[in-house]
Structure 1
């Protein structure tokens, strides 16, 4: 057993000579120390002892033996515990009940070797079983994550609607197997309007993914149900200096179909989350808009989300669609306002989550809002082209660095009719 190391604990540093002789003959490397030294309480800062076998006197209380074993485990491996005694045989009983092995006189080399070999093989088998169980648990966990990913993918649209005069494209890249980001695009109000949703649930992983599924279901069900139940037209002031300009300016009254289901969906979801799930601490920033494909008019609620950017067809400075209320699921009975914009022929609406500006390179440098704006100032031919440009820039910036956050990008481009 020349490959075995042992820590032998004795109060006076004078363990049974016969035991030391037997261990030496078997080639066991032995370090002798006091209980205080083994526990690191001898008055000096001492590293945890490292050995495969812990030999402790039977008179040492089991609690102290466990403490020494735990400290030795800090080096990476839990030791085999064997207690020894020359005369106090009754003290062995309490250790046997805890699964510890024991050595008693005569400390003959052959007997010591047989006992230690038996302990070593049992411990090796136990570790093998623990490794098998850990591997099985890991495989089960990975299987559950895979199932969770498949279920989550079922909550995302299988494809984007094909609308005459519009080019829609999306990029969705989870940082882990499951994501807290989500997007949704669906028709509502008897297919007269198009709902566009991009949201980011706080945190990442399985918990955020569960809330993503809950929030997405609440939003879509309420919006679709409200749209079917009430096709009433609501009149709201639409900020616009010119009917063909989506920039803020003067106000005039225009009909806004879809504002009611939009408001119902966001307010209803916020109320449900704050009433039933405030204890979990999850919330979501979101941009939920309703588009009239015929006119390009857009009514939206921005609940604490990164302002989507309306990119002019001719290039230049994008126009942000600022928040109109807080994140959803934070404040009970809070007020959300409606925002308005217009997507002109050639314009592109770019909606994204904070994983875009917060993408990091190997040095920890963020991609940043300035890079996002710089990429959007250049004219683009389509939503697909815009996302390809953004995706390539993110890939070049991040390189081989690990992705820290989910990334979602949605581009809605109103195409220019050929002359």
Structure 2
């Protein structure tokens, strides 16, 4: 039975009482029931619809960020002029956010300095949001926090072009592998208020209709007894208001975090339908949370497997220092830190004769698991080839031929290989496209060598490699490294650079090789503000001091 008919029956009983008394009683009963229904609906819309709306806005921001990351792959995301000319890119970056009632907001893009890159209002592009910090401090605080937070959201007060105060919500998501940030901003009044206004209008309509019915029956039923009419009115009012109170209590529990709460679906047809919809909402929220739990557990499992993979990889790299304590003619130390869970950089050293030490420094293309697998294969090949091949150039040529076979992923590795004579300090080497090694004299003077112009291993079959030699003088230190150090980027886009690296080696030439390695790695990490862009690897070998002179050939 509908609310309309329950009110009709209630006021048919009231016709037996005096007209004036029944008007007061009927009005109080109807107002109370409908006001409670409106209150429950408003609370439901504020707690459930608003949260759902926030998630939808955040989801749209994340979807735009992922699409932009895909479109910008391989492009210069810092070329803002080109980005603005790209209409397809602009359409993705500055799209409308719509509710069922029409446009309620938009998306735009700024960079990690707060500079507007793409905006529906093109006059905003090229301006920094910091310009509005005084006029809209809440908005600027959200923007400022988003510059270093991958995902953020919040509300702020805004003054529109008609000088009217408006409340807005925005969600901000960093575009992967760029310095761009997507913001999705909606007008709260346009996004949420229409639903609440419709609920309030429907409640008022029912209330007005019910009062019209009551008033007509009161005028027609002056003969009914006041006590009977009052009792009937109270009975039916209770039938209406009790389910609404139950629903209001359920909404309060849902707002407190109890997503499993359910309310009794009784009372009028409309209230039953509302209660059933509310109970379905709780179940859907519980199911969503369970899915999130399952996804989180899966991610933790993957993280655990990656941790094991890193442990296996670390076990392949020499980790005992000093490695040859009986050979006092040298000091050797190395560090490898991956940008991801596993590394593509690697170092290695092993004896290929009683007094001959093979030194390896490599950097595989790419990062993560594929690079780590290619690194493991390269290390294994060299360990098998070098003991039987006295020429490092021919050793690289043999390794290159094997790495080029079935290399469908087109991976490659830059690599420096040297054979170091421990007793004499002479070193014969070959370089497959790797960074130039450095030699640091005992007095701190630094010089680089070893650029041969040869290609990386695995890139092209049938290659030959040139060999060079160097006599490491007593007290001199050989530095092998990867570009994860020299090309390490700062948050503002500057590179660590070769000059800074050489200055660091020169300034600490009198320190132990382990201390120098740790100082270099720490300096590169600090320069990147703790977020490594690439694997960081360094290996230092120092010849014990005697009276000999260095030469390079």
TM-score (norm 2): 0.50
Aligned counterparts of 1:166 and 1:282: Cα–Cα separation in 2: 35
Distance 1:193 1:280, change over 3 A: same
Aligned counterparts of 1:182 and 1:304: Cα–Cα separation in 2: 15
Aligned counterparts of 1:290 and 1:332: Cα–Cα separation in 2: 24
* TM alignment of 1:282-321, pairs within 5 A: 282-321=411-450
Q: What is the Cα deviation at residue 184 of structure 1?
A: 0.5
Q: In the alignment, which residue of structure 1 is the partner of 2:350?
A: 186
Distance 1:302 1:361, change over 3 A: same
Give the aligned length. 301
Contact 1:324 1:338 in 2 (8 A): no
SS in 2 for 1:318: strand
Contact 2:412 2:457 in 1 (8 A): yes
* TM alignment of 1:161-310, pairs within 5 A: 161-162=324-325, 163-189=327-353, 191-224=354-387, 226=388, 258-259=390-391, 262-277=392-407, 279-310=408-439
Aligned counterparts of 2:462 and 2:100: Cα–Cα separation in 1: 60
Q: What is the Cα deviation at residue 363 of structure 1?
A: 2.5
CA RMSD of aligned residues (A): 3.3
Q: What is the Cα deviation at residue 324 of structure 1?
A: 5.0
Distance 1:345 1:50, change over 3 A: farther
Residues 36-61 of structure 1: CA distance to partner in whole angstroms, max 9, x if unpaired?
A: xxxxxxxx96313389xxxxxxxxxx
Q: What is the Cα deviation at residue 152 of structure 1?
A: 0.6
2:488 paired with 1:325: no
Q: In the alignment, which residue of structure 1 is the partner of 2:545?
A: 416
Aligned counterparts of 2:304 and 2:432: Cα–Cα separation in 1: 35
SS in 1 for 2:427: strand
Aligned counterparts of 1:50 and 1:350: Cα–Cα separation in 2: 64
Distance 1:113 1:211, change over 3 A: same
Contact 1:307 1:323 in 2 (8 A): no
Q: What is the Cα deviation at residue 134 of structure 1?
A: 0.3
Q: In the alignment, which residue of structure 1 is the partner of 2:200?
A: none
SS in 1 for 2:404: helix
2:318 paired with 1:157: yes
Contact 1:310 1:321 in 2 (8 A): no
Aligned counterparts of 1:50 and 1:332: Cα–Cα separation in 2: 61
* TM alignment of 1:12-411, pairs within 5 A: 27=41, 29=45, 46-49=96-99, 108-159=269-320, 160-162=323-325, 163-189=327-353, 191-224=354-387, 226=388, 258-259=390-391, 262-277=392-407, 279-378=408-507, 379-380=509-510, 382-391=512-521, 393-394=523-524, 397-398=527-528, 400-411=529-540
Q: What is the Cα deviation at residue 389 of structure 1?
A: 4.5
Residues 257-311 of structure 1: CA distance to partner in whole angstroms, max 9, x if unpaired?
A: x21xx3454222211222211x213211111111111111111111111100122
Q: 1 or 2, which has the higher helix percentage?
A: 2
TM-score (norm 1): 0.64
Aligned counterparts of 1:118 and 1:175: Cα–Cα separation in 2: 47
- What runs of 5+ residues in structure 1 fail to find an aligned partner? 1-22, 32-43, 52-73, 76-106, 228-257
SS in 2 for 1:182: strand
SS in 2 for 1:178: coil
Q: What is the Cα deviation at residue 197 of structure 1?
A: 0.5
- What runs of 5+ residues in structure 2 fail to find an aligned partner? 1-36, 50-93, 102-182, 185-267, 548-553
Q: What is the Cα deviation at residue 385 of structure 1?
A: 4.6
Q: What is the Cα deviation at residue 360 of structure 1?
A: 2.9
Q: What is the Cα deviation at residue 396 of structure 1?
A: 5.1
Aligned counterparts of 1:370 and 1:165: Cα–Cα separation in 2: 29
Q: What is the Cα deviation at residue 380 of structure 1?
A: 3.0
Q: What is the Cα deviation at residue 188 of structure 1?
A: 1.1
Which structure's CA Rg is the greater one?
Answer: 2
Q: In the alignment, which residue of structure 1 is the partner of 2:77?
A: none
Distance 1:127 1:388, change over 3 A: closer
Distance 1:367 1:136, change over 3 A: same
Aligned counterparts of 1:202 and 1:311: Cα–Cα separation in 2: 28
Distance 1:49 1:218, change over 3 A: farther
Aligned counterparts of 1:187 and 1:168: Cα–Cα separation in 2: 13
Which piece of structure 1 moves more, 345-354 or 265-274?
A: 265-274
Aligned counterparts of 1:108 and 1:315: Cα–Cα separation in 2: 89
Distance 1:50 1:129, change over 3 A: farther
